[in-house]
Chain A
Amino acid sequence: MTKISMTVNGKAVSGEVEGRTLLVDFLRKDLRLTGTHVGCDTSQCGACTVHVDGVAVKSCTMLAAEADGASVSTIEGQAAPDGTLNTIQAAFQEHHGLQCGFCTPGMVMAAADLLKNNPKPTEAEVRHHLEGNICRCTGYHNIVKAIMAASGQDVSQLAAE
């Protein structure tokens, strides 16, 4: 067992993990931060996306021990302390960018990563950026729309509705 410590959503945390423990399992099982989900076992679906030191990472593909000393941000840390949704979260609700909610935390974290580096992405850029995040419910229409809306773009004419 290895002792690790890191900052998660601004809070210092520590724990003892096996060498093989994945970051996602440390978050879900040790820290009980169950908002980060596991949807596959091949790093394809992106439901486990979190930010490590400001970069979007699939937490099923990183060992917990590798995140020792890092600053980790998860879906639980995105809303304001009073519960107010951040811009991306609010846009997902406003534009019905989620249905079952299972892929949603990963989508929100991936979207935040995109908008940080590309504040006004085109539709094609949004779709390309979501290559590593699979949603089975929405057909992606409203996810793409929500992300573009969160970037401040007018989405009212994107498609006849």
Chain B
Amino acid sequence: MPKDSGIGASSKRREDVRFLTGTGQYTDDINIHGQAHVYFLRSDVAHGKINSIDTSAASAMPGVVRIFTGADFEGVGGLPCGWQVTDRFGEVMKEPAHPVLAQGKVRHVGDPICAVVAETLEQARDAAEAIELDITELPAVVDMKKALQAGSAKVHDDLADNLCYDWGFVEENKAAVDEAIKNAAHVTTLELVNNRLVANPMEPRVAVGDYNRANDESTLYTTSQNPHVIRLLMGAFVLGIPEHKLRVVAPDVGGGFGTKIFHYAEEAFCTFAARQINRAVKWTASRSEAFMSDAHGRDHVTKIELALDADNNFTAVRTETYANMGAYLSTFAPSVPTWLHGTLMAGNYRTPLIYVNVKAVFTNTVPVDAYRGAGRPEATFQLERVIDKAARELGVDPIALRRQNFITQFPYATPVAVEYDTGDYEATMAKLEEIADLSGFEARRKASEAKGKLRGLGVNCYIEACGIAPSNLVGQLGARAGLYDAATVRVNATGSISVMVGAHSHGQGHETAFPQVVAEMLGIDESMIDIVHGDSSKIPFGMGTYGSRSIAVCGSAMVRATEKIINKAKKIASHLLEASEADIELKNGQFSVKGTDKSCAWGDVTLAAYVPHNYPLEDIEPGLEETAFYDPANFTYPSGAYACEVEVDPETGKVTVERFSAADDFGNVINPMIVTGQVHGGIGQGIGQALLENCAYDENGQLLSASYMDYAMPRASDVPFYAVDHSCQTPCTHNPLGVKGCGEAGAIGSPPAVVNAVIDALHSGGHTNVTHIDMPVSPSRVWAAMNS
């Protein structure tokens, strides 16, 4: 019987009611009395020298309050980068200035130049048209390999070239890897592009800055996945506002997918401007503006080589990747192609020697940073594609080749610095074969062929590192922040509970799932527990939600705080029941004395804590509120096996996803309904990357895909129903809930399955010369490949 409450129950989401009735409160729904509106005048060229900005006519336009330019931000800090990568020669990465408003040069289409603050948005927009800009357009740097050629134009004049860093991992293994590849019985080589994407949460970014002159306090309402991180970065590095004078609120947030992790210029501007004009300042991105100012994702160009011995055992992997940083370093950009990518190159396999080289490159494009999966989809895609290609070259079954090389003993220390604590890759593969009905594939292929379609099957595995991360470890790797999380459990006198958590829910259902854990531990009803999140003035501290970390890291902090509550509550109960503390048991919300019929209720103890008339005041303080910070001991390693079946129309090259199946191991699961939904969403995005989405620039750095007319978002008719299973569970060994995280798996695991399936379909139609098609695998690309 499925449980109906607590850990493992598919409790219906309580947050749904407000979202379904239009009573959610997103940032754009917040309006502050007397607020002004800002419109950002952005660069329409990719690269240019600003000769002059004349705002005199614009300033005289109706409703204009003030127009800001880069000059207003001299003396104000630039946007900081939160991760410093050290290159293979021991040098730190190049870290150019990232001004809030452009100073001297514009470096990408969308780079903000002026900020027009007016009574209404329409007035601000009208006035922006009257600003006279004199900009000399410069040659744009767009292609990464050309950017590194001698004589290329430079994105940043104060740097020697466009190279941010040249990273080698593990550098000490390079010679051995080279040797192993030289001596291999077989080497499969694949060159590929991991296409540039835009995260596109349906809620565009919004910032509302407010200032209270009475207490010199600034408040920023913002569409963020991590309000405390924004407070830290903006307060300490940009505006110089101490934490106790700066409140950051992220209310209901309409999706994030990584792109709302980062600290953006518009947030700093609204907070800064509100102090300058002593009025609230509001900015709401249009979708077109989002395309040219939200950090983009992926954009890697990679060559991977897989070496095998005569028995088809993997002996070495060598990769060379060019990773686009865009024009400036976004908050966590340097970590994505390095520590979030290189460490995953072992995948699910016993490959003894691995060397990863990454050249991070500045270009005149929007900054690139983490997007759902962040580095791990890039690692998985290249590895699972090259394995498929190797299987084809060797004439062996791609599933058998994977199985033969699976890691089977845990813990397993990879040659790329991480240690997998648990996993069972054979179990998820076997589960996949079952739920995907792989034995029925040939019959389905024949049915497709009878309709004149080619049918292909693609299978792959994935592993990811989630629950980032041990702070001392990431500190050594260049992180400029700790990556713990925190929770405060506040038990009220009548027994109801508020849990203040550092994680932020922007679709993940924390308000439902987190209480399930506390309810299970205390044996009380979920409805007695509420989660508070997203407001730096209400929660203790917290690093927010990204990297599938909420339940693994913040959930662990919540467990620790709840354990403290139980310990104290037992002390109070032992006093009330006149028994030894060691004999007190808590079950179903009742405290009882072991071996007796003496008991008292949860509410009796909580009331005693706040009305301590009969209370051991000499031993313990009144009240019942506990905080815990939790710093994980290791990453968590969710894993799984995915299968995709596609039909290809040989006349048009159109690919249709007919079936998609996912067998995941997330360790223990708190709310299966929510976990399944997370996998669905990730698969939808992965199919989008594989077949549809492409953020395109022309050679002049013009953004060609800046609206939903040009950027192909997956729609309902582009995807099938998915078969999803997470019954294979090897619990994480180092966090109290045994959870691994599930948020990114779908987006990591699905693109290679889709592309593997397309290649399989083409081979079945006799197009055996086609070994790879870059994503998005559009009809034109498929048609061209079939006719090459």
> Which A residues fall within an 8 A CB radius of B?
18, 20, 28, 33-42, 44-45, 47, 74-76, 78-79, 83, 85, 89, 92-94, 96, 98-105, 108, 123-124, 126-128, 130-131, 133-145, 158-161
Contacts and interface: CB of A to CB of B under 8 A. Distances in A.
B507 A131 contact: no
Nearest to A104: B19
Contact of B684 (A18, A133, A140): A140
Contact of A103 (B202, B252, B709): B202
A83 B18 CA distance: 10
Contacts of B202: 37, 39, 45, 47, 100, 102-103, 134-137
Contact of A89 (B13, B20, B721): B20
A70 to B, nearest CB: 19
A98 B16 contact: yes
B13 A93 contact: yes
A33 B17 CA distance: 16
Nearest to A124: B717
Interface stretch (B78-86, B187-195, B625-633, B673-681): B673-681
Given A79-B20, A79-B21, A102-B201, 15 more contacts: A38-B28, A44-B707, A45-B202, A76-B21, A93-B12, A93-B17, A99-B681, A100-B201, A100-B506, A123-B721, A131-B716, A136-B257, A141-B721, A143-B716, A145-B721
A135 to B, nearest CB: 7
B699 interface: no
B304 to A, nearest CB: 28
A158 B720 CA distance: 10
Contacts of B719: 139-141
A128 B21 contact: no
Contacts of B685: 136, 139
Interface of B: 12-13, 15-26, 28-29, 122, 200-204, 252-255, 257, 286-288, 435, 506-509, 661, 673-674, 676-677, 680-685, 687, 707-709, 713-717, 719, 721-725, 746
A126 B12 contact: no
Contacts of B20: 75, 78-79, 85, 89, 92-93, 98, 101, 104, 108
29 contacts: A28-B29, A34-B22, A34-B26, A35-B23, A39-B287, A76-B21, A76-B22, A85-B20, A92-B16, A93-B13, A93-B17, A96-B677, A98-B16, A100-B201, A100-B203, A101-B24, A105-B19, A127-B715, A128-B716, A130-B715, A136-B685, A139-B683, A139-B714, A140-B714, A144-B716, A159-B722, A160-B661, A160-B723, A160-B724
Contacts of A78: 20-21
B287 A41 contact: yes
Contact of B708 (A76, A134, A144): A134
Contacts of B17: 85, 93
Contacts of B506: 100
B203 A93 contact: no
Contacts of B707: 40-42, 44
A40 B287 contact: yes
A137 B271 CA distance: 30
A108 B12 CA distance: 18
Contacts of A137: 202, 255, 507, 677, 681
Contacts, number: 200
Nearest to B254: A102
Centre residue among A20, A100, A133 by max chain B CB count within 10 A: A100
Given A89-B20, A98-B20, A136 B13 contact: no
B673 A98 contact: no
A48 B509 CA distance: 23
A99 B507 contact: yes
B16 A35 contact: no
Contacts of A136: 200-202, 255, 257, 681, 684-685, 713
B37 to A, nearest CB: 11
Contacts of B687: 139
A133 B435 CA distance: 30
Given A99-B507, A140-B684, A34 B29 contact: yes
Listed residue (B15, B20, B122, B435) with the most chain A CB atoms within 10 angstroms of its CB: B20
B680 A142 contact: yes
A30 to B, nearest CB: 12
Contacts of B203: 37, 39, 100, 102
Nearest to A106: B202
Nearest to A93: B16
A96 B716 contact: no
A115 B316 CA distance: 57
A101 B684 contact: no
Contact of A101 (B507, B708, B713): B507
A96 B200 CA distance: 21
Contact of B509 (A83, A99, A126): A99
Nearest to B687: A139
Contacts of B288: 41-42
Contact of A41 (B286, B508, B717): B286
A74 B21 contact: no
A19 to B, nearest CB: 11
Contacts of A20: 122
Contacts of B661: 160
A101 B254 contact: yes
Contacts of B286: 41
A82 B429 CA distance: 49
A159 B721 contact: yes
A126 B687 CA distance: 19
Contacts of B746: 139
Contact of B722 (A35, A134, A139): A139
A104 B507 CA distance: 11
A159 B266 CA distance: 43
B708 A42 contact: yes
A38 B287 CA distance: 9
Contacts of A104: 19-20
Contact of B21 (A83, A96, A103): A83
A89 B12 CA distance: 13
Q: Which of A34, A89, A94, A133: most chain B CB closer than 10 A?
A: A34
Given A39-B287, A131-B716, A33 B684 contact: no
A146 B22 CA distance: 18
Contact of B22 (A105, A130, A134, A139): A105
Nearest to A21: B122
Interface-central residue, A103, A124, A139, by most chain B CB under 10 Å: A139
Contacts of A74: 22
A100 B648 CA distance: 33
Contact of A35 (B21, B681, B715): B21
A96 B254 contact: no
Nearest to B290: A40
Contacts of B722: 139, 141, 159
A134 B680 CA distance: 15
A41 to B, nearest CB: 5
A159 B717 CA distance: 16
Contacts of A75: 20-22
Contacts of A126: 716
Shortest Cβ-Cβ A-B pairs, 6 listed: A35-B22, A139-B684, A101-B19, A102-B254, A100-B507, A99-B507
